[in-house]
Amino acid sequence: MGPRTIAGARPTKSIVVTSTLLAINVLIYLITAVQAKSLDNSTSPLNFDGVMQPAAALVQGEWWRIFTSGFVHFGIFHIAANMFSLWMIGRALEQAFGKIRYLALYFVALFGASVAVLLFDNPLQISGGASGALFGLLGCYAVIVVKLKLNPSGLLITLAINGYITFAIPGISILAHVGGLITGALVAVALLYAPERNRARWQAIGIGIIVVALVGLVLYRAAALSALA
């Protein structure tokens, strides 16, 4: 079968997924900036239609916001900070996990970040950005540190910096960050602690269980909000 990484993927130096995600985020920001005719893209129609708002997502049936909200940003600093973090963290994780597992990690973490917002945030609150998924990558990094018994200094410093930014800057969704962090860690456990025999199958089952649980929480919240509408 040849050499495998810690997650069971074939060793690769490819960072095509990270590069593609970065390009998509930047492209969407540029489109919104053109629409708003300003680097402050808050008036962009694309941003308005893509951001997370629990009431719109669940009561009005605009389910796409669960995922599109992870690709819209508010202003040049927001997109720059998130894309820098994606580039710094994502490349190593993509090489360790391979394209498919890395994509699963990223999008399930994004899903988990949105679910946390749907469950606990004000139904009319607006939020967006890639940081929920990025905190999922940090959660994965934490599991790797534990499994491989690595020096946690780098992780702790990174978490401290991101934690400070989360609580210090107004308008950042704490719930999305926490939801992404927890979900990313759970996905990493499913990937890294799967039995070696039929590992890919067990990994798929583990991730599937997480996704089904998240979908269940979304349906529960949708029913609750619809009853209040």
Burial of 169 (0-12, 13-18, 19+ CB in 10 A): exposed
Q: How far apart are CA 43 and CA 32, in angstroms?
A: 8
Q: At what angle do helices 153-168 and 174-192 cross, to 10 degrees?
A: 150
Report the alpha-carbon distance of residue 131 to residue 113 in Å, rounded: 9
The closest alpha carbon to 130, from 184, 48, 71, 185, belongs to 71
**Which candidate, 114, 109, 165, places its Cα nearest to that of 138?**
109
Selected catalytic residue, list 69, 78, 127, 177: 177
Active site residue 131: yes
3-state secondary structure of 52: strand
- Among this protein's residues, is 177 annotated catalytic? yes
State both tokens at 46. 């694309």
Catalytic hit among 131, 153, 173, 226: 131
Active site positions, annotated: 131, 177
